[in-house]
Amino acid sequence: MRNNSMQQQLVIVGGGMVGLSLALMLAKANIAVKLLEAVTYPNYDDENVAPYHSSFDARNTALSRRSVQIYQKLGLWDALQQHATPILQVHITEQGSFGKARLVAEQEKVESFGQVIENAWLGRVLLTQVRQQPLIELIDGVQVTALQQQANQVKITAQRQGGTLDFVTPLLIAADGRDSFCRQAVGIGADEHDYDQVAIVTTVQTSKPHQQVGFERFSALGPLALLPLPGEYLRSVVFPVRKGTEQQFLGAENDQYFLDTLQHTYG
């Protein structure tokens, strides 16, 4: 069943961190937005539903100072910072080398170098705000299947629950991720390079407090990152390994091997 074409001032395809944030910024500038997201969002009013979404899972994101300032201007930072940790220092080292660099926010006359925030909480705050914004029409569970560029507008065809939806907009913003359907549909290429690596992203508890210090260590495997999290002893780990070897680090039975390798790489 096909509905009549729905026209809106602007359409954003992709309702992850970028799409939701941009929609709120445009609404703040009094611009009406239709936001299309392929995955159905959780109902955050239901306490029995895990607050995870494909874009907002158990991982963490390091927000730059500029990103924090954007959320401050949107009036969201008071809610976001409840689950965020500032990075007050950054220590950079290289395995097997005595050289190192240390950046201190106070010396650089900035409040922090950024904030590390839980993705699930970030998504919950953004989505709650979007749902309360009258200038944003949010349609989730909708998959864009075709784009047609016309003289002064773009026609969008999408599927939702077995029906077809048509949208017409003078401006389409593609925020649908790395493998963007919109990018490919309009013939925009991408330069790709395979580093033969995958990253293991997890959370560890350390014996010493993190003191709001972020670490980056370069090794033969690639750059290792340790970032401070809410909770004095919790850190987010981004650990690169060679593609094809990741299974030996995953699963509860390999926890000790992973920790030993992490300790050896970090030194």
CA distance 17 to 14: 9
pLDDT at position 6, please?
Answer: 52
pLDDT at position 161, please?
Answer: 86
pLDDT at position 132, please?
Answer: 94
Q: Where are the alpha helices (DSSP H) in 74-194?
A: 77-80, 119-131, 181-185
pLDDT at position 23, please?
Answer: 97
Most confident region among 36-45, 52-61, 138-147 by mean pLDDT: 138-147
pLDDT in tens, 191-225: 999 989 999 999 999 999 999 999 999 988 888 99
Neighbours of 147 (CB within 10 A): 18
Q: Under a CB-based contact definition with an 8 Å cutoff, are residues 120 and 52 in contact?
A: yes
Rounded to the nearest 5°, which phi and psi values hold at 131? -65, -20
The b/e string for 71-88 (b: 16+ C-beta within 10 A; e otherwise) is beebebbebbbebbbbbb
Structure tokens at 254: 């390999």
Lowest mean pLDDT segment, chosen from 49-53, 69-73, 113-117, 154-158: 49-53
The b/e string for 20-52 (b: 16+ C-beta within 10 A; e otherwise) is bbbbbebbeeeeebbbbbbeebbeeeeeeeebe
Residue 141's alpha-carbon distances to 39, 160, 162, 166, 241, in angstroms, are 5, 6, 11, 15, 34
Question: 263 vs 21, which has greater pLDDT?
Answer: 21
Task: Give residues with Cβ within 8 angstroms of 77, minimum separation 6.
Answer: 68, 71
Residue 94 has pLDDT above 60, yes or no: yes
Neighbours of 234 (CB within 10 A): 18
CA distance 3 to 5: 6
Rounded to the nearest 5°, which phi and psi values hold at 154? -125, 130
Most confident region among 24-33, 188-197, 230-239, 255-264 by mean pLDDT: 24-33
Residue type, 73: K
Question: 193 vs 2, which has greater pLDDT?
Answer: 193
Residue 53 has pLDDT above 80, yes or no: no
- Give the max Cα distance, the chain: 67
Average pLDDT, rounded, for the chain: 89
pTM: 0.87
Residue 45 has pLDDT above 80, yes or no: no
CA distance 148 to 102: 51
pLDDT in tens, 107-141: 999 999 999 999 989 998 999 999 999 999 999 99
pLDDT at position 15, please?
Answer: 94
Structure tokens at 8: 């809106």
Which domains occur in the chain, in start order?
A: 10-72+121-186 (3.50.50.60), 85-116+195-266 (3.30.9.10)
pLDDT in tens, 60-90: 999 999 999 999 999 999 999 989 999 999 9
pLDDT at position 180, please?
Answer: 93
Among 99, 89, 93, CA closest to 267: 93
Mean pLDDT of 162-190: 92
